[in-house]
A and B are shown apart, each in its own frame.
Chain A
Amino acid sequence: MTEYVVRRLLYGVLIVGLVTVFVFLVLRLIPGDVVRLQLANAPGVGEAQIDELTAALGLDQPLHAQLVTFLGDALHGDFGTSFQSQEPVTSLVAERLPITLQLGAMAILIGILAGVPLGLLSAVRHNSWLDQGMRLVSVAGISIPNFWLGLLLVTYLALYFGWSPPLVYQGPGQDLESNLLHMILPALALGASTMASIARMLRSSLLEVLHSNFIRAVRAKGAPETLVIFKHGVRNSVVPVFTLLGLQIGNILGGTVILESIFGIPGMGMLIFEAVQMRDYPVVLGCVVVYGAVFVLINLVVDLLYGVIDPRIRYARR
């Protein structure tokens, strides 16, 4: 078990490392030069100043040398400083990460709280109008892009109810109500597809379980339907739902980038969005590492939960 966790963490580090290298290289392929972007508004800049700044940022070195320097520093926990604000990347990310985690957690919570009862109901009452309706809604939920749903939500709420989220972001410690009001729409937009996928997965997996032999045997004992469904049905159908949840984390993290920018939430999503625009390489890379680490860690937790649910799963060496 411990061995399994350690091995998974090592794999995780490797994966995040590879992704970081990949992003490092891709960033340089995007046209646009960080130095020229920074100096664009300063009048009368000469080539000398440009060269000077380029050298100061270390960008005059050959690419592979830059990569080696970056990786060496990163392994020591030093991700450099922002080209833009000159702040250390680590402190920038530390400041923004909790906001994104809150948004992601709210989205997942919405997905679970709405998706689980929906999936349950439509499995138990399958082929009823409720089930048909749920299937329709979930196809919509899965296929509508989350940013578009976010925009729709803002527009319609403003148009028909005259309500719009607060303009200035407040931390949950400052003004919890305003914070939640600000977060709720992007969380809904992000959680919609999670909800739909969970509902669909739980429905099909529960339907299959409810037709299995041991469920019939439980009924033959004289068990009431509630016991059949909740004790034996749901627990047996939850493993594929967990797998799905692990994958949904990726969608949700990706979704934060654009939704935070739309809703003016100063989390990591907004940070990386702006950093890409300004070619602020250290910040982008710092964010990528953290996004990757969060994804890897959550999926590890999900995999460990399998073992809690299903006694047959043992984390043997594979």
Chain B
Amino acid sequence: MVQPNSRGFAAGTREPLLRVDDLHVEFDTPRGTVEAVGGISFEVDPDQTVAVVGESGSGKSVTALAILRLLEGGWISGGQVHWDGQDLVTADATAMRRVRGDDIAMIFQDPMTSLDPLYPIGNQIVEAIRLHRRISRRAARERAIELLEQVGIPDPRARVRSYPHQLSGGQRQRVMIAIALACSPRLLIADEPTTALDVTIEAQVLELIRELQREYHTALLLVTHDMGVVAEMADWVVVFYAGQVVEQGPAARVLGAPRHPYTEALLSAVPTPATDKALPLTVIDGAVPGLADMPPGCRFRARCAHAWQRCTDEPPLFELGEGRQSRCWLREGSEMDGAPVLPAADLSPAAGREVS
């Protein structure tokens, strides 16, 4: 049932580490049920860094949480999450617990509130280790000290006894990274791990993640707002807009020559040293449409500089070769030879069905 992988470098033979396939997530709101994530598909290969970018509210966190089934108040209404020969969407609670923290670890946006305030950090790292490894408390504690040292906490032997409130935001995020790496996961999901930190700390923490990723051979799914971070860290980039993938492809290619007006707009919104400081910052006009009143057709239409009458129909994801995809009618007809026009689900058994 495995279809040939259209990504050039994956050569079609290697199974990806994680395959998110046509994922849908719904929430109950006072205004009725809304679909926050409407059919997302992407893959993460071993050791790879995949960046997920998109404006606030585009469904990045919801997707990240849905992979580990940590959603609150919402539910997965369709699709699969393939991991290690199983579908995490239908896995039972015990199987899910085994995956969480051991195979797939997660770091969150806000380090200030991500640690239990009532326990010393050592205790919380030891807990992460002993949930998955049968080792003594003492050995786990030694390992915790080692991890603290690796994430760059000074004087780790004394610091294991510190409480979260005695650490700075940057240090807490380092502790979260230590917890995430405690069981050497194969995939690390980092949901905007540095947005709550100031700029100098941000660079340090990202560098730390990158170093440890190499050392632990961990793939990284990095949610971020920052195109600069994408350029520096990502192998692959997935661009989200209003709960859908609008473009994805190798990071260098997508950043170098975006194939969707939204990606273009995102990139031009990034100030560079060359940007004339006298001009106002470029922002994308308008706002993401509300989930409850999503217009038919292309979801970016109302804000798009290139919109034309075709855009009132919902565009499928066009295949552009090397696994690149764009959800824009302007790409119709520019698909690569031999690569049929396929929706996002081109890697799934349901290939050929249009995602609507």
Interface residues of A (CB under 8 A from B): 211-214, 216-224, 227, 232, 235-236, 309-312
Contact = CB atoms under 8 A, between A and B. Distances in A.
A214 B119 CA distance: 12
A221 B100 contact: yes
B102 A213 contact: no
Q: Which 7 A-B pairs have the closest CB atoms?
A: A222-B101, A222-B100, A221-B101, A213-B113, A220-B106, A217-B114, A311-B163
A236 B108 contact: no
Given A309-B118, A311-B163, A221 B131 contact: yes
B98 interface: yes
A222 B131 CA distance: 7
A84 B114 CA distance: 65
B251 interface: no
Given A221-B179, A222-B100, A232-B116, 9 more contacts: A217-B114, A217-B179, A219-B70, A219-B100, A220-B101, A222-B101, A223-B127, A224-B97, A309-B118
Contacts of A213: 108, 110, 113-114
B68 A220 contact: yes
B128 interface: yes
B342 to A, nearest CB: 33
Contacts of A223: 97, 101, 127, 131
B113 A214 contact: yes
Contacts of B119: 232
A220 B116 CA distance: 13
7 contacts: A218-B116, A220-B68, A220-B101, A221-B127, A221-B179, A227-B127, A232-B116
A223 B126 CA distance: 12
Contacts of A312: 117, 163, 165
A134 B49 CA distance: 50
B132 interface: yes
B87 to A, nearest CB: 18
B38 to A, nearest CB: 23
B105 A220 contact: yes
A211 B71 CA distance: 11
Interface residues of B, number: 29
Contacts of B127: 218, 221, 223, 227
A236 B117 contact: yes
Interface of B: 65, 68, 70, 72, 97-102, 105-106, 108, 110, 113-119, 127-128, 131-132, 163, 165, 176, 179
B98 A236 contact: no
Contact of A216 (B72, B98, B102, B128): B72
Contacts, number: 71
Given A219-B100, A221-B101, A222-B99, A214 B116 contact: yes
Given A220-B105, A223-B131, A312-B163, A236 B100 contact: no
A311 B113 contact: no
Contacts of A218: 116, 127
A212 B100 contact: no
A236 B97 CA distance: 23
A220 B108 CA distance: 10
A311 B118 contact: yes
A217 B128 CA distance: 10
A191 to B, nearest CB: 28
A236 B127 CA distance: 17
A59 B272 CA distance: 91
A220 B131 CA distance: 11
A221 B72 contact: no
A91 B115 CA distance: 54
Nearest to B105: A220
Q: Of residues A212, A214, A220, which shows the largest number of chain B Cβ atoms within 10 Å of its Cβ?
A: A220
Contacts of A211: 72
A311 B100 contact: no
Contacts of B102: 222
A232 B124 CA distance: 10
Q: Of residues B118, B163, B179, which shows the largest number of chain A Cβ atoms within 10 Å of its Cβ?
A: B118
Nearest to B166: A311
A214 B114 contact: yes
Contacts of B72: 211, 216
A221 B115 CA distance: 12
B57 to A, nearest CB: 19
B113 A222 contact: no
A223 B70 CA distance: 12
A118 to B, nearest CB: 23
A69 B106 CA distance: 71
Contacts of A220: 68, 70, 100-101, 105-106, 108
A309 B116 CA distance: 12
Nearest to B123: A231
Given A211-B72, A311-B163, A312-B165, A217 B115 contact: yes
Q: Of residues B102, B116, B117, which shows the largest number of chain A Cβ atoms within 10 Å of its Cβ?
A: B116
Nearest to B103: A222
Contacts of B128: 221
Contacts of A216: 65, 70, 72, 108
A222 B132 contact: yes
Q: Of residues A213, A221, A309, which shows the largest number of chain B Cβ atoms within 10 Å of its Cβ?
A: A221
A212 B131 contact: no
Nearest to B165: A312
Nearest to A223: B131
Contacts of B113: 212-214
Contacts of A309: 118
